[in-house]
Each structure stands twice: as structure tokens, then as C-alpha cells.
Structure 1
């Protein structure tokens, strides 16, 4: 079996004891969601807004002793989840945020969801 980055990511989450992921699949993370659907240990929970996903992940971390995990699309998905991520940071609650990226091999990209995610998340992470 060929092991992909998506397979490795899901395998690592299983080893960490993650039981649920929360988010919305998109073109940037379909392979990851395909692997989540194959997992017998992790249940992907789909939401209607990334903000909900981040607050649910925060709640899961607080009550379950496992790390609440988001699986969201880049840029808009990440900015929508920011309030819940900030709440977890301020409360000292562990949270894992997995977001996709965009192609970087193009000259002038002008792609949908093109923001500097690292700069955006810097004040919201340790």
C-alpha cells in the first residue's frame, strides 16, 4: 500500500488518541478526509461553519482529556475558526488545527484562499 501524507497524518492522529475531528472538507483537504473516512479510530464530524468546529474542538479538549482537532480549509476556513482557537489559547486548552495550503509552484498565484496563514496564526498559537 502506498502511504501518502494524508495517510501518515491520520495514522499519527490515531497514535495520539484523537477520536474526533471537526471541520468542513474542501478541495485542499479531500485526501485527508478520504483517509479519515477509512479510519476505525477517528470519526470526522462535519459542521456547517468552521467557527463551530473550533468551539466544539475546544469543548472536547476540556471534557475528554483528548486533544480537540480541527480539519479545515485554508484562509477563509482558518479565519472563521479564529475565535474558537483564540478562546482555547487564552484558556490554556490544547487544540490541534490542521489546515490545507495552496499551490506555491506558480508565479503569480492569485488563488482562492491565498493568505499568509503563518502570520495570521502567530498571535493565536504558542
Structure 2
């Protein structure tokens, strides 16, 4: 009979710590600098590529395109291309994308609320 484990027990076991664990790639996409910012930017609704680029300071077209493709591949971002001239493409969060965006927003909010403590801390 298979032993039941809780989620925290499975996480403590450390599948994520294994080099071939598929969740590592997803974690990398979601927690990358641009992944976090794209997820947060899309929480307010669908946006065109140019809107995202303007709203996320410092991101290059190449990095934004790559990040959107990765998040779309993971099932967090939906890409809709409208057949009009000029071409019109919108990006939005899927239901699962909204869930993960809430998680990274919590981390981002904590960092912003504690940035003074972080940058002025005493050296170890």
C-alpha cells in the first residue's frame, strides 16, 4: 500500500532539488526578473506587446518575446492574434497564470515594502 504524504512533506523531500525535475524550468521562468514583471503587468488585464514593453522598464524586445513564449509554454500566458491589418496580438493571464501571479506579487510586494531594510542592512 502506497504511503500518503502531505504537500509539505513532498516539498521537503525535495523533488525540486533534483537536477532533472521538470518543475525547475517552470520555477526559472516564473521567478526570472522578466517573468515576475510580465506576470505582474498582466494582472491588470490583456496587453499588447508594445504596452508590455513600455510598462516594463528596461526589458528588450528579445527578452520580452522570449519570456512571453516561456510563460505561454508553461500555460500561464494566453496569446491571441487577431487577423487584422496591421497585425494585433494580445497577451493575458490564464486562470493558472492568475494564481501564480498572485504568488510572485506577494514576494514583489514584500521586497518593495522592505527595500529600505534590505539596502541599509549592516554587513554580515
* Same-fold call, TM cutoff 0.5: no
TM-score by length of 2: 0.25
TM-score by length of 1: 0.25
Which structure has the larger Rg? 2
The structure carrying a bigger helix percent of its residues is 2
